[in-house]
Structure 1
Amino acid sequence: MAVFTPVTDADARALLQHYNLGELVSLRGISAGIENTNYFLTTTTGEYVLTLFEVLTFEQLPFYIELMHHLAEKGIPVPSPQTLKNGQRLTRMHDKPCAIVTRLDGSYVPEPNLKHCALAAQTLAQTHLAAQDYPLTQPNLRSLPWWEQTIPAILPFLNAEQHQLITTVLTEQQAFFASELYAQLPSGPAHCDLFRDNVLFAGTAEQPVMGGFIDFYFAGCDTWIFDIAVSVNDWCIERDTGTFLLEPLRAWLGAYHAIRPFTEAEKQAWPLVLQAAALRFWVSRLYDFYLPRPAQTLKPHDPTHFERVLQARRQPQISLDELIG
C-alpha cells in the first residue's frame, strides 16, 4: 500500500463526480505495504479507501472487486466496493485501474491474544464457506508457477546455503502440487495474505470485536489449508525464530475447525502446506528487496524473517489432529 502514484485533491474531486459519495473532505496517503497505491478518502458521506492498482490489470481485477462485493453482501466484514453511477465498481485514474471501498472500523493489533486469534480464525472459516458459490475464478497469482518464474531471478543474490534451501523446497513443492494428496485438498476463493496487519479489531483486548479483513488483492482460488497456513505462519509465531507458539496456534486452528472441520487430506498435507506458505513469502520478500519497483514511500520487508520461518517449518511439526485435539 505504498504511494507509487501521487493523487491530488483535484484528482479525487474529479473521481468523486462519478460516484454518489458526496464531496471531498480529505485525502491522505497510506505508507504501509508494497503493492498498491492507497489513500484514506473522507467525503461528506463517510470514510473510504481509494486504491490505484500498480500490478494487477484491469482484466484481472473484477475477481477481487466482485469477491469483496460478494462477501460483503453475505455479511462477511470486508471492505465493500462502491458502485459508480454507471453501475460498475472499477474505473481508472492516471491510466491505472482504481476503486473506492468502505473503510472498516477498528485497527491492526500488533500482538494479538488468544481471543483475537480465535475470532480471526472463525471469520476466515466463515469467509471460505461464504465464497463457495462465488462464480468467478482466478488462480492465486503468487503460487507455484510464480515461484518457478521468480526464484531464478533472485538466485544470484543468495548465498550457497540459501540457494540450496530455496531450490530444494521448490523441488519438493513441485512434487507435492502434482500429487494425488494435493488434488484432494478442499479449495476455493481464499485471501492468501491474512497477516495480522490485514485484520482490524474494534472493542477491547478482553472483548475484541471483528472489524474486518482488508487487502484482498493477493486473493485467488487456492487450497483453504494454504490460506490457514499463511495466517498461522504470521499470527502464531515467535518473531525472532519463526517457531510456533502453541497456545495461539491451538486457539486459531481449534476455532477454525469448529466452523469448517479439517479433512483427512488437509491433516496429511499440513507439514508441506506450512512450508509452501513460508516459501511463498520468502520468495516475494526476496524479490521486493533485491528487485524493487520505485515508490515514494516504499518499505520492503526483511526477507530473512521468512527464511527463518521456512527453516522452522522444515523441522518435525505437531500434527493437526493433536493441535485441534
Structure 2
Amino acid sequence: MSVYTIVEREALETFLQQYPLGQLLEYQGISSGIENTNYFVTTTSGEFVLTLFEEMGEKELPYFLELMAYLAEHKVPSAHPLADNDGHYLQHFYDKPAALVRRLTGSEILQPKLAQCQALGHSLGHMHTATPGFPLYRANGRGPHWWRQIAKRLQEKLPETDNHLLQEEIRFQGKHQHDNLPRGVIHADLFRDNALFNDDELCGIIDFYYACDDVLLYDVAVTVNDWCIDLETGQLDVARLHIFLDAYQQQRPFTFQERENWSVMLRAAALRFWLSRLKDYHFPRPGELTHTKDPEHFKQILLARRQLPDDCQLPEA
C-alpha cells in the first residue's frame, strides 16, 4: 500500500462527487504495504480508504471487490466496497482503476497475543467455510510457475548460496502434488498488517488483492508463518500456533491429507514470500512513499521450516 500516484485535493473532490459521501474533509497517503496506492479519506459521511490499482488490470478487479462484498455479507470481518451513484464498485481515477471501501476501526498488531491468534484462526476458518458459494474464480498468480520465473530473474543478483537454496526448495516443492487437498478461496496474504484489532477483538481483515482460488492449507501456512513465530529466529511459537490451529479447526477440521502435507505447505509459503521480498528489494518500483520489507526475514523462516518440530504438527480432528 505504498503511494505511487500523487492525489491532488481538487481532483479527489471531483472524484468523490461520484459517491453519496458529502464533502471532503481530509486525506492522507498510506505508506505500509507494497502493491497499490492507498489513501485514507475522510468526508462528512465518514472515513474511507481509496485504492488506486497500479498493476492489476481492470478485468481482474471485479473478483476482489465482489469477494470483499461477499465476505462482509457473510459475517467475515472485512471492509465492504462502496458503490458509486450508478451502483458500481469499480471506478477510474488518474486513468487507473480505483475503488473506495469503508475504513475499519482498529489497528494492526506487532506482537500477537494468544487471544488475537485465536480470533484470527476462527475468522480464517469461517472464511474458508463461507466461500464455496462465491461464484467467481481466480488462479493463484504467485504459484510454482511464478516462483521459477522470479528465481531465474534473480539469479544474477543473489550469492551462490541463496541461488542454491532457492533451486533446492523449488525442486523439493515440485515433488509434491496437492490434488487431494481441499481447495477454495484464500486470502493468500494474511499478515499482521492485514488484520485490525481493538484489544482482542478482530475488527477486520483487509487487503484481499492477492486473494485467489488455491489450497486452503496454503492460506493457513501463510498466516501461521507471520502470526505464530518468534520474529527474531523465525521459529514457530508453539502456544500461539496451537491456539490458532485449534480455533481454525473448530470451523473447518483438517483432513488426514492436510496433516501429511503441513510441513511442505509451510515451506511453500515461506518460499513464496522470500521470493516476493527479494523481487521487491532487487527490482523496486518508484513511489513517493514506499515500504520495502527485508528478504532475510523470510529466508530465515524458510530455513527454520525445513525441520518441523513434532509439537508444531497439525492437530488431530
Note the residue ranges of structure 1 that are not aligned, 5 or more in a row: none
TM-score (norm. length: structure 2): 0.97
* Equivalent residue letter for 2:253: P
Residues matched between the structures, number: 317
**Matched residue, 1:11:** 11
- Per-residue deviation, residues 185-233 of structure 1 (Å, max 9, x unmatched): 111111000011111011x3xxx11111011111111111000100010
Q: Is the 8 A contact 2:236 2:312 kept in 1?
A: no
Shift of residue 174, structure 1, vs aligned partner: 2.1
From 220, 230, 236, give the equivalent of 1:228. Answer: 220
Shift of residue 240, structure 1, vs aligned partner: 1.6
Matches within 5 A, 1:152-167: 152-167=152-167
Alpha-carbon distance between aligned partners in 2 of 1:238 and 1:131, rounded to the nearest angstrom: 31
**Matched residue, 2:303:** 311
**Matched residue, 1:195:** 191
**Matched residue, 2:231:** 239
- Per-residue deviation, residues 31-87 of structure 1 (Å, max 9, x unmatched): 111111000011111110000011111111111111001111112111110001122
Matches within 5 A, 1:111-122: 111-122=111-122
**Matched residue, 2:24:** 24
Q: Is the 8 A contact 2:238 2:311 kept in 1?
A: no
Shift of residue 266, structure 1, vs aligned partner: 0.7
1:252 aligned onto 2:244: yes
Alpha-carbon distance between aligned partners in 2 of 1:320 and 1:97, rounded to the nearest angstrom: 42
Alpha-carbon distance between aligned partners in 1 of 2:145 and 2:79, rounded to the nearest angstrom: 29
Question: Once superposed, which parts of structure 1, at least 4 consecutive aligned residues long, lie more than 4 Å away?
Answer: 319-325
Shift of residue 133, structure 1, vs aligned partner: 0.6
- Per-residue deviation, residues 146-170 of structure 1 (Å, max 9, x unmatched): 1122110111111111111100111
TM-score (norm. length: structure 1): 0.95
Matches within 5 A, 1:87-102: 87-102=87-102
Identity %: 42
Alpha-carbon distance between aligned partners in 2 of 1:132 and 1:9, rounded to the nearest angstrom: 41
Note the residue ranges of structure 2 that are not aligned, 5 or more in a row: none
Alpha-carbon distance between aligned partners in 1 of 2:310 and 2:133, rounded to the nearest angstrom: 33
**Matched residue, 1:64:** 64
1:79 aligned onto 2:79: yes
Alpha-carbon distance between aligned partners in 2 of 1:153 and 1:79, rounded to the nearest angstrom: 36
Shift of residue 317, structure 1, vs aligned partner: 3.7
Q: Is the 8 A contact 1:270 1:319 kept in 2?
A: no
* Equivalent residue letter for 1:221: D
Shift of residue 318, structure 1, vs aligned partner: 2.8
